[in-house]
Amino acid sequence: MSRMGDVLAGFHAAWEFESDSVLIRYERGIRTPKLFQALGERRVPIEAISGVTLAPGRRGTVVLRAELRAGADPLLEAAAGQLKEGCDPYRLVLPAERETLAEYYADELRTRLKDDGEPAERHLVDAPEAPRQFKAYDAKASFDGGTVNFRWFWTGASSAKWKAGDQSFPVAELSGVEWRDGTAVPAQPDQDPAAVVFGLGYGPVHESLPFAAAVLAAVRQNGAAAVPAGPVRRDPADIAERIRHLGELHQAGLVTDEEFSVKKAELLAEL
């Protein structure tokens, strides 16, 4: 392999070639995709890479791309092929005059690959670290490393979600995570208490995808790194506002007398 510490700099990122991995550092700046800025850097072990390609890019550029083994990266697993080309964290776009240098590094890297075509048995690239949170359209989603919490917003959540109440999902009880960018949305996510709706400025890709990847990584570890969540205490003013909204749903006939009484008691118990 190249000498440890060799760096190939491109637009938006620089790849540092080390003895057993490639360290990708993403630049900060208005032209850099927000997902890259949110990730900061990614260390990719050689064993996580299945192939390397170099191809012409747009407007006098070349593109060096690392292809990762299936299941090696929780971020790509959560994205499930939905990331746009410009948001692929493993594409390095370079000026065309650096093609020869890029080819050298690509060849050097290929000589180290030992991929057998099989999916990785575990995540080889670290997930974004918890705790994480983001504001979706209908809820505040938070993850402390052990439990996913959805706290509904009265301005966005459906009556079905209000009836179900705020949700908590221990990692040990989850089997996976689904993240959809809007082109393959599950049926009626606005009615599903196990889903939050993002988009239109609420929980964009650079916030929601790292969140999903962090949860997915914890699920894959079977909750081994779970952090016990302590009791949640709510703001009295927030509780009062939620009871007021619940009353509006009751008056509109969207919540029965019994549902209103039960939910009101649950909210009061959170004080």
- Tens digits of per-residue pLDDT, 69-89? 999 999 999 999 999 999 999
Distance from C-alpha of 154 to C-alpha of 86, rounded to nearest angstrom: 35
In a domain, 160, yes or no: yes
Q: Report the half-sphere exposure of 223 (CA within 13 A, side-chain side).
A: 13
Facing residues of 49 across strands? 68
Same domain? 225 vs 189: yes
Confidence of residue 227 (pLDDT cuts 50, 70, 90): very low
In a domain, 118, yes or no: no
Confidence check: pLDDT of 11 > 70: yes
What's 65's domain CATH number? Answer: 2.30.29
Same domain? 51 vs 83: yes
Q: How many domains does the chain have?
A: 2
In a domain, 270, yes or no: no
pTM of the predicted model, to two decimals?
0.80
In a domain, 237, yes or no: no
Same domain? 87 vs 139: no
Confidence of residue 223 (pLDDT cuts 50, 70, 90): very low
Enumerate the H helices of the chain as residue ranges. 34-39, 74-79, 99-110, 159-164, 205-220, 236-251, 257-269
Same domain? 102 vs 12: yes
In a domain, 116, yes or no: no
Confidence of residue 4 (pLDDT cuts 50, 70, 90): low
Same domain? 86 vs 143: no
Same domain? 156 vs 219: yes
Distance from C-alpha of 24 to C-alpha of 40, rounded to nearest angstrom: 9
Confidence of residue 234 (pLDDT cuts 50, 70, 90): low
Same domain? 105 vs 184: no
Token output for 187: 């049926």
Q: Under 8 Å CB-to-CB from 115, ≥6 apart: which residues?
A: 47, 49, 50, 51, 69
- Tens digits of per-residue pLDDT, 159-193? 999 999 999 999 999 999 999 876 555 567 889 99
Same domain? 100 vs 147: no
Same domain? 142 vs 82: no
Same domain? 16 vs 98: yes
Residue 200 is predicted with a pLDDT of 67
Token output for 122: 């575990």
- Tens digits of per-residue pLDDT, 187-213? 678 899 999 998 767 889 999 999 999
* Intra-chain end-to-end CA distance of the chain, in Å: 60
In a domain, 40, yes or no: yes
The Cα-based distances of 46 to 50, 51, 55, 115, 124 in angstroms read 9, 10, 21, 9, 9
Average of per-residue pLDDT values in the chain: 87
Q: Which domain, by its residues, includes 225?
A: 132-232
Residue 182 is predicted with a pLDDT of 61
CA angle centred on 109, ends 22 and 23, rounded to 5°: 5
In a domain, 119, yes or no: no
In a domain, 271, yes or no: no
Pick from 145-149, 152-156, 234-238, 247-251 the range whose average pLDDT is largest. Answer: 145-149
Residue 263 is predicted with a pLDDT of 77
